[in-house]
Structure 1
Amino acid sequence: MQPIPRHWAAVRATHTFPGHGPFALTIHGSSDISVEDARRDARERMDALVAAGGPEQEHDSGLEYYPSRRLPEELLKDVHSEDGTLIAAITRNRYGAAVLNTDALLICDVDLPQEDVGRSRSSGGRAGKRPGLLSRLLGGGAKHDAARETSPGEPASRGADISTGSVGGAANGSHDAAALPDELGGPGSGERGRVHAELLTSIRDFGARHPELGVRAYRTRHGFRLLVSGADAHPASERARALMQEVRSDPLYMLLCRVHDTYRARLTPKPWRVEIDRFESLGTRTATAPEHQDWVRRYRDASAQVAVCRLLEVTGAAPSAEERRIIDLHDRATRPEFGLPLA
């Protein structure tokens, strides 16, 4: 995969275009050389945008989060194969979560209908802090190549049952699955429950149609995540589009993968789900800034007692050694085997 830019800069200007009022424009530039070179890139992009007559008027509000071009993200870690090839990178996205970026493993996000279940967060049954990759991604602990750590193995039997999406065991007995289907990864009710069952069937059918692929199905708070090995499909390829559409992957997620030229998977909780202010509200992306470091500390502490996804089922062919390294990194960070509330 192509390296993630190490330096970012923004230029801001107000312009008036024919038929439109003044636009307050912010354009980001990137560089692997220096911040000044990133500013040069940003100025050139601004000049090109103005020369083209200004920004297109998008009416789909979702495109603000899934933009038509890459937005700046702090590079947290590069991950290399044994021969030194860059196979993945971890970045911090605009609201502060750590994100896995890779083109070596196909990743699909599949959404369920949204359901307002509140932002309740029970403390009952919570596990203690788990040191390791999660802590290091969020700014704590020793820094070394996490991709070289020993795999923790497959989840314990308390994982979820793909046939129902229900959570086995009673590690979090204080939670009510009917009241909080998202936190527990349960199917929900009504239309959401119907779509939940339909998508699970679709995922299993996908695996049956493609025995040459390895399919790891996870339950996320608002849907499903698939890690698909053996696909050999670049994120912008027609094969990737076809495979992702087969499992009804979110179209905006598919766009994001094409824009970033990598598949993406969030590794740490959304801040508001662990009662932490959004990272972007700080007004700074400078990693050395005290307010940045304070935010990272608070976010790391709040994230210690939740998971990002829960592993449901593994089917198909075994992954390659390179794919296995990325899967292990993903699973150590997202904690799919710990029976924790999903965030």
Structure 2
Amino acid sequence: MLLYDYWARVSLDCQRADGQPYHLIGYGGSDDSPAAAQAAGQQILLARQARLQAGQSLNEYPTTERPLREQLEQRLYDSQGELLAAITRNGYGSRVLNAPRTMFIDVDDVGLCPPLRPSAWEALLGPRLYGWLQRRLGGAPPVALTPPEAMAQRLSAWLDGHPDWKFRLYRTLRGYRLLVLHQLLPPDGPEAQAVFAALGADTTYVRLCQTQNCYRARLSPKPWRIGWHRPPVAFPFATAAEEAAQHAWEQQYAQRSQAFSVCEGLGDFGTGTSCPEAQQVADVHDAACLGGRPLA
């Protein structure tokens, strides 16, 4: 997980290899100071300029690193001073918990029970039974399991083979969120990949965890679900006026968010014992996400 306390946006007007004008933008991050972030951004910009003038394709960063260019609100540490998690604000304004070793799993309803194509139903049931069901139901038969049934089935199957595991299960607006409580797991490790696959984790979420080398859990509603709009400006802010506009947006967003919850807690599953580090992250998560209000 790569996060910075400070970010800076830098730009440069230059030329491409064919002499055409080009406006370059770069972003630099630092934990030291805004000036250090500005200097880092300039270095990235010079590297991008060199690639541009050499006729090479442009990437946002000159290395394989993909730092989270999000406003950092808080870092959380364990009793030994090790970083447990960090809270950032993402591009559309929601607060997000980033955890390098405390495993969160996002599972969508659609991923749990994808609708079968007519050809798949016909192959499954046989032509005669499929034709009869089509005539009775006016279309393709429904999926075999509901999302709650499918989630319970997958969770039970995993725990049957891994009795020492412990999950906390949550219902979200469009699916489920699971939190692994009994141990810490890096997102690129084989165990994490196995549980992602077994529980049907959202593939986009899995890729994000691998790219950022951390798990992510949204702590506040998506603004369009609570009748609000995205932030008026993008982070990092170029002027004091942009920062003030963002602050005003956040105040309105926070006020509207009070009427909603992100998750509904469904309980703990498995016989494992919660490890202190995962429990600390769970406490922060639950305080922000639960509340018995409409989900958003």
TM (norm. structure 2) is 0.75
Shift of 1:277: 1.3
Q: Which amino acid aligns with 2:94?
A: A
Mapped pair 1:237 → 2:189: yes
- 1:268-313 CA-to-partner distances (Å, cap 9, x unmatched) read 111111111112x334545973222211111111011111011223
Q: Distance in 2 between matches of 1:23 and 1:257?
A: 33
Q: Indicate whether 1:330 and 2:285 are aligned.
A: yes
Query: Contact between 2:169 and 2:267, CA under 8 Å: does it hold in 1?
Result: yes
> Structure 1: where are the runs of 5+ without partners?
57-66, 115-188
Structure 1, 282-291 or 309-318: larger mean CA deviation: 282-291
Matched, 1:341 2:294: yes
2:190, 2:17 → 1: CA distance?
38
Partner of 2:221: 269
Shift of 1:68: 7.9
Work out whether 1:314 is the aligned partner of 2:265.
no
Q: Is the 8 A contact 1:207 1:215 kept in 2?
A: no
Change (3 A) 1:12 1:201: farther
Output the CA distance in 2 between the equivalents of 1:15 and 1:243: 48
Whole-angstrom distance in 1 between the partners of 2:292 and 2:268: 17
More displaced 10-residue stretch of structure 1: 38-47 or 246-255: 38-47
Aligned equivalent of 1:100, options 92, 97, 102: 97
Question: Could you say what secondary structure the match of 1:265 adopts?
Answer: strand
How many residues align structurally? 255
Indicate whether 1:8 and 2:12 are aligned: no
CA contact (8 A) 1:3 1:86 kept: no
CA contact (8 A) 2:91 2:234 kept: no
Bigger CA radius of gyration = 2
Structure 1 Cα separation of the partners of residues 202 and 244 of structure 2: 37
* Change in 2 beyond 3 A, CA 1:40/1:309: same
Residue 129 of structure 1: aligned partner: none
- Paired with 1:313 and 1:197, the residues of 2 have a C-alpha distance of 16
Uncovered stretches (5+) of structure 2, i.e. residues with no partner:
112-140
**Residue of 159, 171, 187 corresponding to 1:207:** 159
CA drift at 1:101? 1.1
Shift of 1:3: 6.7
C-alpha separation in 2, matches of 1:17 and 1:208: 59
The one-letter code of the counterpart of 1:274 is I
Contact 1:74 1:93 in 2 (8 A): yes
1:64 corresponds in structure 2 to: none
**In structure 2, what is the Cα distance between the partners aligned to 1:23 and 1:207?**
56
Which amino acid in the other structure matches residue 318 of structure 1? T
Partner deviation per Cα, 1:161-181 (whole Å, 9 max, x = no partner):
xxxxxxxxxxxxxxxxxxxxx
- Aligned equivalents of 1:295 and 1:14: distance in 2? 31
Aligned partners of 1:318, 1:92: CA distance in 2, in Å?
Answer: 31
Taking a change above 3 Å as real, the CA distance of residues 274 and 104 of structure 1, as seen in their structure-2 partners, is same
Matches within 5 A, 1:72-87: 72-87=69-84
After TM superposition, the score normalised by the length of structure 1 is 0.65
Tell me how far 1:236 sits from its aligned partner: 2.5
Which residue identity is paired with 1:113?
A: V
- TM alignment of 1:1-343, pairs within 5 A: 4-13=3-12, 25-52=24-51, 53-55=56-58, 69-113=66-110, 194-195=146-147, 197-279=149-231, 281-283=232-234, 285-286=236-237, 289-316=243-270, 317-335=272-290, 338-343=291-296
Q: Flag the 1:285–1:42 CA change in 2: closer, same or farther, 3 A.
A: closer
Matched residue type, 1:306: F
Q: Could you say if the C-alpha distance between residues 282 and 74 of structure 1 is closer, same or farther in structure 2, counting changes exceeding 3 Å?
A: same
Moved over 6 A (4+): 14-19
What per-residue deviation string (whole Å, max 9, x for no partner) do you get for residues 162-219 of structure 1? Answer: xxxxxxxxxxxxxxxxxxxxxxxxxxx9559745532332123223322222111111
The 3-state SS of whatever aligns with 2:261 is coil
Letter in 2 for 1:97: S
Question: Is the contact between residue 285 and residue 292 of structure 1 (CA under 8 Å) also seen in structure 2?
Answer: no
Seen in structure 2, the aligned counterparts of structure 1 residues 50 and 328 have a Cα distance that, compared at 3 Å, is: same
Larger relative helix fraction: 2
Deviation larger for 29-38 or 285-294: 285-294
For 2:260 and 2:181, the matched residues in 1 are separated by 26
SS in 1 for 2:110: coil
Share of identical aligned residues, percent?
30
SS at match of 2:37: helix
Tell me, what secondary structure is at the counterpart of 1:314? strand
How far apart are the structure 1 equivalents of 2:264 and 2:77?
26
